[in-house]
Chain A
């Protein structure tokens, strides 16, 4: 056939009729800047082939010209970047899956300056420099360079090598698209909408089950879309397909998801699906999500994922124009595109014979079938004989020719001289490997099956039904319909769906099934050129032999060393061939070799789809206190404390942080400060067993706590380490209000609930989180009482009625209040708890009063300074999970019978001398505050490896004392008060004196006024 006989059209390789493309529409698109026409229904690959474009990319390592290998998601060569606009460029898309739209701009990858003339293709000539294990060997740097040389190597050469390799470039700018997500549940998830999947979905739906049918292609139908012979239930396959989809759409509980890849299978049949919603549209609205992640919990799974055709391994088997035979048939029937005008078929299975005959029927000249086997099946031979195609059996492919597209195949044959057969397309077919990735991910075991020459399931797994070609590595359409229908019925019945079913769809004029599969290649003769096993990672038979020569035996190790099967296609077309070559090199059976592990994702998934809505302000909840609006109105500077935003300080005009914090501290010491403590964790513990429960949970004695009183309490982990602290307040005989640290709130509640439900089941009490019920306003300072007195009712604030560590319930500004007289500053202090909805208004009124008395709001920074002046610890700052209450100078519960963590406190390590102990530090050098975390040593410049005596846990400038203060944990520190130690710094050690950890009002007189 010659070009002149094709219809006069812009798409010279498009047939005049046939296919599922829309001939009434015409789409203009570009590839590397060249403009082409295609049709609605085309993929980029089919449209390029229709225009005779075969060269579409350069390979990963050697920059060899590459074309289109397949017609589906297994594509390993035709990777392109699609650039929608300057912010939207998606690399490494398979041209076989990209649907064209008006204005689509696609680019080839891994080439410079152009696809035709790629500078780095020199790599192909010097391939000896890139042996197996290249990356491992290279990035280490040669040993001879020495340490410094290798550092240079790492800095200069590694980035250069990394730049040269690789595929498309990852986008740099933030992804502007929207991504949606959705959980879903169904009785039956059918994966793959080919004949088996459609029949399964139909049966399950008719039985009354809820069904999700997902298929990765733009259009459901699978192999039916390239099927023109068969008739189903008396109608052409395409009519049956349309009718079936129509029928499925009539069920409320059936959802058909085209353009949806089931990319991962997780425990208990949770599956990850990505639905591509708008990538195929020319101008999608900005509010339409690009993709949607589905997390589907399926009661039953029907896996109808079909098969992937296996390429042949022969020298230079990677040139553009060398394609999988079944894909050539797909382009012919589904897209009405011929991949070339004169073809050579390299066959190792009978599949290719039918395709060859088909091509002849559409005017393509098939120059020869080169069969590496001694003979083909009878039916196959009859078929090609009728079509007038010559067959050379028992042949060896010596190589191929052609720079940017294959131009000839060199063949040797036992009975003849080697010959070169000219062609512009080569079909290859070595049989099929079932697409069992998801089966494997679902923990289904696979093993090499010698008679099928494929990895096949060893045993069925519960709730997973294989249907169609995936179950038997091939088979007729009729068989697929039947097994699919039966699988759908079985799955639906298992879920209890009981409606009557119509009969199984029947196929006639069904082409025969070619179940003969060629042996996986063991030894490949390579006299010249390279025989590729993994196209995408440029792994050749030689690389695999080098790996086995270097001692690699396990297929998993060979995979990692050579990178075979580790490209973005995860070896869909290469794994079986790699197994064969490794087995051949090691002279073992493939079955003995095992196989590599299949892992999600089946095809690459965008980060956007995984992130979904959880980005920007929705990345994580930002929790604001009820007082937040007032703090913001005051210009507070905030800090993140977990998910909470807390006011750190309240700068006035012209103030920096230090000035503001100093002023806030002075206000508390001299007059009054008010502080938003709403984030404190709060738990209400109620019930007759509440007191005993808390007594067992906390170190401190709590059964004897009087009603109306509070006690500071420390909680230990089972291991005896300080876990949390807070105030336990007894509201009534059987009711307590317990506070926790801000960060510890959720963990403490869980810890308590755990003990209550599993250990202390003899106690009747209940825990209720009230963290967010109460807004907390700390009023601290000598004038605190003066601030509150006019605002509260039903509460006597006098020191005799409400002394330090007492509580009262009453009202403030006519709203209910729990008032705790507690102090984290060392001053007379109250914590006003009011229902959260009223907290802001109450805060505003208290603040007004406080400011009239020269008071001020203070933030978390001043709070830290004030408590450090008093030596009050913060769990998580003075403690690090390895600190005991004794270390911190806190009550140790020695007199108590038991509490959580008590036994651990007597472990030898917990009582040995030299434990870290909380002390204060004074700077002796007149400098500023120490850095928190500084190590403390005995001498100013200890040699490397000297253990530290301790470290600085907190350090601030104290405005009250007008000097820096610090808290530290020092080994045996309490016995070392007065000693001098050093804090080594890059510019010389700082000299510090160990002092008692209470810097201000050590007698506590200010608390009790």
Chain B
């Protein structure tokens, strides 16, 4: 085996789905960065499986729909009655999927690795909410969309999953091929927001 491996060419770390130019940023407005997430699983499970799985996973699955349950190493975003997006900092298909499959031997579930399907972005800054509102029709103020609220929604012409991690920090999951579009759109939004803010500051 090792001999064979030695003969084979090897490839490096996976390509970033975002890549390209520097990510948008404006002082005092917002900045976009690539999320550190490397593992993603879509878990679908009926109520009988949830109890079994809850113990196996770092994060509980019993959080309310459209919320995030954060635990060491794994966050569960509950996107529907039987749907979770699990985000892991370690490579999910190596350990998380295995743990789930192991725990759910006797119950019907679906676990699908989508680590490469999505790109993860983080937007932080005092105007993060305003920047997202450029294309997200949901109310994003802290009362309507508090910390650890997570939902599937749209941002302009891209479908996203939006998770509020902190008052001025959001995590965005987006399908890989939409990531450059989303970054460009957020870039324009950050610039517009910064320009309008500077203008109203000058106007006093």
Please give the residue numbers on chain A whose beta carbons come within 8 Å of chain B beta carbons, in ascending order. Answer: 178, 180-185, 210, 277-278, 284-285, 287-289, 292, 295, 297, 612-614, 617-618, 620-626, 629, 643-644, 684, 686-688, 734, 764-766, 768-774, 790-791, 793, 813-816, 835-842, 845, 848
Contact = CB atoms under 8 A, between A and B. Distances in A.
A688 B45 CA distance: 12
A538 to B, nearest CB: 40
Nearest to B112: A768
29 contacts: A180-B189, A183-B135, A277-B196, A278-B199, A287-B194, A289-B196, A292-B192, A614-B156, A623-B177, A625-B177, A686-B44, A687-B44, A688-B108, A764-B46, A764-B108, A766-B110, A771-B175, A772-B176, A772-B177, A773-B114, A773-B117, A814-B8, A814-B10, A836-B17, A836-B116, A838-B14, A840-B15, A841-B12, A848-B9
B133 A815 contact: no
Interface in B161-190: 175-178, 180-181, 184-185, 188-189
Contacts of B195: 285, 287-289
A819 to B, nearest CB: 16
A210 B142 CA distance: 13
B14 A835 contact: yes
Interface of B: 1, 4-5, 7-12, 14-17, 42, 44, 46, 82, 93, 108-118, 130, 133-139, 141, 144, 156-158, 175-178, 180-181, 184-185, 188-189, 191-196, 199
Contact of A613 (B110, B138, B185): B185
A624 B177 contact: yes
Contacts of B109: 686-687
Contact of B112 (A297, A734, A770, A835): A770
Contact of B8 (A185, A277, A764, A790): A790
Contacts of B17: 626, 836-837
A287 B193 CA distance: 10
Given A620-B157, A688-B108, A773-B113, A841 B15 contact: yes
Given A288-B196, A838-B11, A838-B14, A772 B117 contact: yes
Nearest to B5: A814
A301 to B, nearest CB: 16
Contact of A837 (B14, B175, B188): B14
Contacts of B135: 181, 183, 613
A791 B14 CA distance: 18
A180 B196 CA distance: 10
A646 to B, nearest CB: 12
Contacts of B157: 614, 620-621
A623 B134 contact: no
Given A621-B178, A841-B11, 5 more contacts: A180-B196, A297-B139, A614-B157, A626-B15, A684-B110
Nearest to A285: B195
Contacts of B188: 178, 613, 618
B44 to A, nearest CB: 4
Nearest to B192: A180
Contacts of A768: 42, 44, 110, 112, 114
A856 to B, nearest CB: 20
B184 to A, nearest CB: 6
A82 to B, nearest CB: 19
B138 to A, nearest CB: 8
Given A289-B192, A835-B116, A621 B158 contact: yes
Interface centre among A765, A770, A791 (most CB of B within 10 A): A770
A791 B180 CA distance: 31
Contacts of A765: 110
Contacts of B136: 183
B9 A182 contact: no
Contacts of B130: 182
A185 B137 CA distance: 9
A770 B114 CA distance: 7
B11 A815 contact: yes
A813 B11 contact: yes
A774 B177 CA distance: 12
Contacts of A297: 137, 139
A766 B110 CA distance: 6
Contacts of A841: 11-12, 15
